[in-house]
Amino acid sequence: MPELRKDPVIGRWVIIATERKLRPSDYAEMCPTVEEEQAPFCPFCPGNETKTPPEIFAIRENNSQPNTPGWLVRVVPNKYPALKIEGNLDKKGVGIFDKMNGIGAHEVIIETSQHNQQMHDFDIAHLEKVIHTYQIRSLDLKNDPRLKYSMIFKNYGKEAGASLHHSHTQLIATPVTPKRVKEELKGTQWYYDYKERCIFCDIIEDEISRGERVVAINKDFITIVPYASRFPFELWVVPLKHRADFDSISDLERPNLAEMLGLVLKKLMKGLCNPPYNFIFHTAPNRFAHPGYWQTIDKDYHWHIEIMPRLTRPGGFEWGTGFYINPTPPEEAAQFLRDLVV
C-alpha cells in the first residue's frame, strides 16, 4: 500500500510509492552516470587562470601569486552571473508588480586543481579546505547590507545542472530571502513557538532512538534519509549541536563535517554507480546587516545540508501539486547505504 508522509518542517506531503518499489540495483541499471570527461579546454584548470575573472580568494601553496598556478582551492566570480555585485537595488513598483535591480553575488568555488578529481575523491584534509572556503566566503558576503541570503550549492553531472566537469561549487547571494527558505524558517519558528524546542533537534533525537533512517554518525554530525524523502536516497547531513548558521562551525567541527560529507558521497557513488546529484547548504539568512531580522532564528533554526541524487524526474503531477513521488522507502535506502562499506 502506498503511503502519504508529511514533512514535519514545512508541511509538504510526499507519496512513498511502494507499489512502484525500486531497489538500489535497479537505479544502477536505469539511471545516468557521470562519466570522466577529457575536454579540449577547461577554464578551471591550472594555467588557464586568465580565462576566468580575477580570483576573489584562494588557498595557495608556496606563496604563489594570485591568478597563477599553485592554488589548491580557488574562488572566482561567475563569468555569466545570475546577479551582479555592482549597483544599487533601486526597488520600485510597476503597477501592482514589484521589481529591483539584479544585485547580488555569484561566485564559483573551484574545489581542486585536478580536472578529473571529484569531491568524493578528496581526502578529509582537502575537503576541509573546501568547506573552510565556503565558510570564509559566506562570512565575507554578510558584510554587504544589500544581501539577505547566501546559498552554497553543487551540481554534479549534466543531469543535475553542471555545465563543466571540473569539480566546483557555486555560491549565490541574493537581496531577498528565497521563498523555499522562508517556508523552512516559518516552519521551524512555528514549531518553536508551539513547543519551545528546535524541530531539527527533535528530529535528530528521534532518528537516533529509532536508528532505521540513520546512515552515519560521528562526533559532530549525523546523516539521515529523511522520513518524508522527496527523492530516492535523499540525504540530510545535520550538525548534532544546535546552530542556525553554517559559517559558525568551529575549527574542531570542520574536519568532522569533511569526514561525514566525504563518507556519504562515497557511499552514493559506490552504491548507485556514480549518480548525478545536487547538494544545498540550508542556513540562516544574513542578520548582521539587518538587525532584528528573524529575531528568534538562533533558537528555532538549525542549519543542515540536503543531498539529492537525480534518480527520478518530477512530472506534471509533482509540478501541479507540490507532492513528490518517491519509489524507494527511506528506511530501505538508509539501510542500503548504512551497510555499504567504502
Return the active site residues.
Answer: 168
**Residue of 174, 179, 156, 139 whose CA lies nearest to 279:** 156
How would you list the strands of the sheet with 221-224, edge to edge?
Answer: 57-60, 71-77, 105-110, 168-174, 149-156, 277-282, 304-309, 235-239, 221-224, 214-217
H-assigned helices in 196-240: 199-210
**Residue of 156, 158, 142 whose CA lies nearest to 105:** 142
Read off the amino acid at residue 102.
G
Contact between residue 215 and residue 267 where contact means Cβ atoms under 8 Å apart: yes
Number of Cβ within a 10 Å radius of residue 85: 16
The pairing of beta strand 277-282 with beta strand 304-309: antiparallel
Q: Is 206 helix (H, G, I), strand (E, B) or coil?
A: helix
**Residue of 122, 123, 111, 106 whose CA lies nearest to 165:** 111
- C-alpha grid cell, residue 186: 516559518
